[in-house]
């Protein structure tokens, strides 16, 4: 189960960093961000998680806010998995978690 939690945490970290990088690059590039190659790469990485967030959220949530919802959901998943790993490692022993 530790291996599965490791993979979930890794995927959440990659997606979180992609969404954060896309946001920062969007601030730097401005209106021409959709023409930026790296912005597009980060958008491709984060797109599945944004789609899941769009599916989960009601239609009241504006489309421009859905990436923030995806980021927050991924952050909560990351925190939950991290707490689970800490609890499990303390229960079975730190030596077995390496």
CB atoms within 10 A of CB 32: 8
Q: Does residue 70 contact residue 43 with C-beta atoms inside 8 Å? A: no
DSSP state of 61: S
Domains in the chain, number: 1
Range of the domain at 29: 2-97
* Chain centre distance of CA 84: 18
Q: What is the pLDDT of residues 37-95, one digit of tens each?
A: 999 999 999 999 999 999 999 989 898 999 999 999 999 999 999 999 999 999 998 88
């Amino acid at each position: 189960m530790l291996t599965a939690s490791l993979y979930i945490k890794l995927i959440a970290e990659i997606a979180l960093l992609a969404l954060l990088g896309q946001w920062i690059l969007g601030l730097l590039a401005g209106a021409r961000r959709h023409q930026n190659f790296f912005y597009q790469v980060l958008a491709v990485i984060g797109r599945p998680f944004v789609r899941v967030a769009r599916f989960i959220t009601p239609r009241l949530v504006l489309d421009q806010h859905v990436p923030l919802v995806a980021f927050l959901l991924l952050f909560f998943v990351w925190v939950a998995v991290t707490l689970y790993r800490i609890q499990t490692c303390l229960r079975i022993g730190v030596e077995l978690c390496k």
